[in-house]
Amino acid sequence: MNAQDENKLESSAEVLINEQQLLLAAIWSDDPQFIAESGFNVEGINVYRRNLFANAERSLSISFPTLFELLDSDASKHITQLFLKSSPPNQGDWAQWGEALTSFITTTEVGHQYPYIEDCTALDWHVHCALHGVDQTFEQSSLQVLGEHEPEHIFVKFNANVALLESKYPIVDIFYAHHGEDESQRQTALNHAQKALASPLKRQTVMTYRPEFQPKVTTLTTSEAVFMRSLMSGDSLANALDTVNEKFHFSFENWLVKALKLNLIYIFKEN
């Protein structure tokens, strides 16, 4: 490609970007005269706007099911419109849009009124990412590393679908109150959540993981959280054990059995 062709390509890209920006400005504008002067049909813009809002609300309701269960229809529509204007999608796949909603929700009236909604939104996003994450299972051959090397030289790489979230609210119970497998589980979780919210709040570490095809959420013990965060930060197995054993009675063997069962570990590696 010569310089002239490159200049034409750059000019075409600039024209496309300008047209997209003008279209977005027309969509967000409530001034019919501005829309007309922009060269767009007012009725056409209104149809496009309604379709855009409908697609955005449908997408967010799928990615953030707990949040949309907690909100009434008016609130969910209002938040969708505000968020869409604040953080419009920058790619064609709606499923990849919405990460910024967790921080955005704190700026809304409902976020101020119900502070636990922020963490519920964050948990929804972690579950959504795990659902669409890569398929990873434990590399069985890496178990040899445990027998062949000292803990000072052993490191753990976790499954990409594992994530930790700190919260002082009973967000696991809130999650299962809406997404439990049956009515009994949902009711039990709801009772636990209501009781926890009425009591002094206690910080906890929540883990999302995907043992097979569907993501799961659970609450970690304090020692499990300390140990896993140490490993996730890049500490060796020896350093992580030292960190957790300073304050807790911790069994690495018991944790390992559980971690392998839940598909938390991707590989042990030596460094």
Bridge partner list, 164: 207
Q: What pLDDT score was predicted for residue 246?
A: 85
Q: What pLDDT score was predicted for residue 1?
A: 54
Q: What pLDDT score was predicted for residue 86?
A: 87
Q: What are the sequence ranges of the domains in the chain? A: 140-270
**Any residues with CB less than 8 A from the CB of 229 and at least 6 apart, and which?**
164, 205
Q: Can you list the residues of the chain whose pLDDT is less than 70?
A: 1-24, 28-32, 34-42
Side chain identity, residue 189 = A
pLDDT tens per residue across span 159-188: 999 999 999 999 999 999 999 889 999 999
pLDDT tens per residue across span 221-263: 999 999 999 999 999 999 999 999 988 989 999 999 999 999 9
What distance in Å separates the CA atoms of residue 26 and residue 36, rounded to the nearest whole number? 9
CA dihedral 258, 264, 270, 271 (to 10 degrees): -130
What distance in Å separates the CA atoms of residue 11 and residue 34, rounded to the nearest whole number? 25
Q: What pLDDT score was predicted for residue 3?
A: 53
- Beta-strand relationship, 265-270 and 216-220: unpaired
